[in-house]
Amino acid sequence: MLELKFDKKKCADCKAVSCLVKCQYIDLNKTEAKKEWQKVINGEDSFVLDACTTCYACEEYCPFGNHPFYLIVERQEEKNVLAAPRALIKQWVNMCAPSGKFMLGDVKEKTASLCFMPRLGSLAQGKLFEDVATSWILGAEFFCNAVYLHFSRMSVIKERLPKIIDNISKQGIKELICLHDECYATYNSLAPAYGIDVPFKTIHYMEHLYQKLKENKAKIKPLNVKAAYQRNCSTRLVPQIDHFVDDIFGLIGVTRLDREYDRENALCCGALIWASKGYDAGHDVQQRNIDDMEKHGAEYCVFNCPACWDPLAEKVANRGIKPIHMIDLCKLAMGEEQALKLPEMPLEV
């Protein structure tokens, strides 16, 4: 049975209790945070389990790499605390179950993972992806399963993830370009936290973009625009990749706005907050976030995760801010066509 690598002593010795004190959605001082976190460690009832919005940020806040969020998810499941509506959880668990159905491109040793999202394939085209445009994997058999963190179902991840990793390895893949941020986070945070071996090298798509942009530097036409970066939840599991946003922006002439809700202080897209905490809570997070983009003069809102695009893209567009995926932003600098498009009628926020 897979067990979380968690050091109770490190938490006991921690004075800052950053995992809870820095939380954007729970308001606790150090004394209160220490008391509630000890309850979570001990497996006791704590309001933290109900209040958690599953934004993943406490994973980044912990100075010890001690996986506080993974422990919260385990405790939620143990105590049947639902992080999302029961029907939604059941739907996702059933919908993404491996069933022997998957799709393969011309798989080579270096391959792109489309995870369980076909639209990622339309993004990974053009000059920047010509070496892997036809080499890809797609389907529930290769689905990273990190989404179940949002649904208080760590047991599903522990059951399925070793099989998913084995399925990928059996394709003869040596290097996997993760086109969804959650895949990279799964193989570089979740798997190691439970002692699961990953026998292939993983490459975050932004690292791939950065290298390809450097190789094609002469073809880049600097965009000279100001952008707000929408930092998604799974980046909290692998904060070490955030520098690629700055590196890429530097190459293509984009200014990353120094706004309130970015970097460590980033707000999530609010989609799961709507589902778990209600419309008002989700709307408040989205409004504060977009207000902040507008206040700082953002011309673009740059998305990393397609799941953030869905609840936010139309709403930022309604404020006169152009939504764009990071890959499409790079294509724009290369003079290529974009993939993700907006519907005609944007929503207000």
Domain shared by 111 and 188, yes or no? yes
Helix, strand, coil in percent for the chain, rounding step 5: 50, 10, 40
- The most distant pair of C-alpha atoms in the chain lies apart, rounded to whole Å, by 59
> Contact 235/241 with Cβ under 8 angstroms?
yes
Domain shared by 186 and 275, yes or no? no
At 349 the pLDDT is: 52
- pLDDT tens, position by position, 236-261: 999 999 999 999 999 999 999 999 99
Domains: count for the chain: 3
Domain shared by 200 and 121, yes or no? yes
Q: Residue 112: beta bridge partners?
A: 136, 177
Domain shared by 127 and 198, yes or no? yes
Residues 6+ apart with CB under 8 A from 44: none
Q: Does some domain include residue 62? A: yes
Residue 316: CB atoms within 10 Å: 27
Q: Does some domain include residue 213? A: no
Average pLDDT over residues 91-113: 93
Domain shared by 119 and 152, yes or no? yes
Phi, psi for 48 (deg, rounded to 5): -60, -35
CATH number at residue 274: 3.40.50.1860
At 313 the pLDDT is: 96
The pair of structure tokens assigned to 313 is 């893209």
Domain shared by 223 and 326, yes or no? yes
Dihedral Cα 150, 155, 160, 163, nearest 10 deg: 140
Domain shared by 105 and 200, yes or no? yes
Q: Does some domain include residue 339? A: no
3-state secondary structure of 202: strand
Domain shared by 91 and 204, yes or no? yes
State yes or no: pLDDT of 15 exceeds 90: no
Q: Does some domain include residue 111? A: yes
Q: Does some domain include residue 273? A: yes
Domain shared by 166 and 248, yes or no? no
How big is the chain, counted in residues?
349
Give the domain extent around 162. 87-208
